[in-house]
Amino acid sequence: MNNSMIIGQYVPGTSLIHRLDPRTKILVIFFFVIIVFFANSVWSYSILTAFAIGTALATRVPLSFIVKGLKPVWFLIVFTFLLHLFVSRQGDILFSVLGFPFYEESLIQGGTLSLRFFLLILFTSLLTLTTSPIEITDAIEYLLHPLKKLRFPVHELALMMSISLRFIPTLMQEAEKISKAQASRGVDFRTGSLKDRMSAVIPLLIPLFVSAFKRAEELAMAMEARGYQGGEGRTKIRALLFRKKDYIVFFFFCLVMAATIGTRV
């Protein structure tokens, strides 16, 4: 089995963006998502686009990975654009093709909406591209901390996420083993109608579920034997640390936000 199994789309690296505190990244993305909806002029869009593309380049993640992340939403972006182009009829007629009129306003609206969409997806995908899932988990646990007062099980949620991350490769290895074992007994996963293939998956899923439950039980016992009794009074070895570069990034991002607001019309 692959030794460098990657969960999700994380691309390990050492760029500035990779080394930022995950909380910084999540907060910046959070405010970016909001600020995108404030942009309404050529300048403000230009600033945000430059910022997003600049950040994407700074991650030094190969472009193909970034494009792959955008793939599922390309259709949506294009669809939004076309919908606006054909359905809404505002402003002057710009030109017409084969008797179908294209309106200036709807062209602009479609364009900006698609651009917004593109910026949002691009920027948020940078988080999962440059941050390992466990770092994201830590950051989420920290950022959701205030909800603890409302009895929201923050620690439990984070633990569940980290245990899932821990067991995904294990269960994948196991699924592969079971599918080989079943294939050697004559189960055919690849040919036949969709229905046939669906029912071929059942002898794979059932043993996998049974073993997952068994694992869960043993894991719970091992955790208890090692003194686990909930999040109360627990310390953590993985520390999140705001460093100088995080503050610099925050400062820079504030400038970008200010510039975006300032260039609104």
Partner 1 sequence: MKDRIEFEGVTFRYQEDAPPVLKDVDFFIEKGEWVAIIGHNGSGKSTIAKLMNGLLFAENGEVSVDGMSVNPDSVWEIRKKVGMVFQNPDNQFVGTTVRDDIAFGMENQGVPREEMVEKVAGSLRDVQMETYENHEPHRLSGGQKQRVAIAGVLAIAPDYMLLDEATAMLDPKGRQEILKTVRDVQEKSNMSLVTITHDLREIVAADRVIVMNKGEVWFEGTPREVFAHKDSLSSIGLDVPFVAKLTEEMKQYGVSFRKEPLNHEEMVEELWNLHSTK
Task: List contacts with partner 1 (CB under 8 A).
Answer: 1, 3, 5, 134, 162-163, 165-166, 169-170, 173, 214-215, 218-219, 221-229, 233-239
CA 130 to chain centre: 10
Cα separation, 88 vs 110, whole angstroms: 9
Nearer to partner 1, 52 or 208 (CB): 208
Nearer to partner 1, 89 or 214 (CB): 214
Give me the least distance between CB of 83 and partner 1, in Å please.
Answer: 43
Cα separation, 106 vs 112, whole angstroms: 10
Give me the least distance between CB of 162 and partner 1, in Å please.
Answer: 6
Please check whether residue 173 is in contact with residue 1, taking contact to mean a CB–CB distance below 8 angstroms.
yes
Residue 126: CB atoms within 10 Å: 23
Give me the least distance between CB of 206 and partner 1, in Å please.
Answer: 19
Give me the least distance between CB of 205 and partner 1, in Å please.
Answer: 19
Cα separation, 135 vs 144, whole angstroms: 14
Residue 31: CB atoms within 10 Å: 14
Nearer to partner 1, 186 or 227 (CB): 227
Give me the least distance between CB of 243 and partner 1, in Å please.
Answer: 16
Report which secondary-structure segment, H or E, holds 100. Answer: strand 100-103
Give me the least distance between CB of 154 and partner 1, in Å please.
Answer: 16
Cα separation, 254 vs 25, whole angstroms: 13
Cα separation, 31 vs 120, whole angstroms: 11
Nearer to partner 1, 72 or 227 (CB): 227
Nearer to partner 1, 110 or 133 (CB): 133
Residue 185: CB atoms within 10 Å: 8
φ, ψ for residue 102, nearest 5 deg: -110, 125
Nearer to partner 1, 152 or 228 (CB): 228
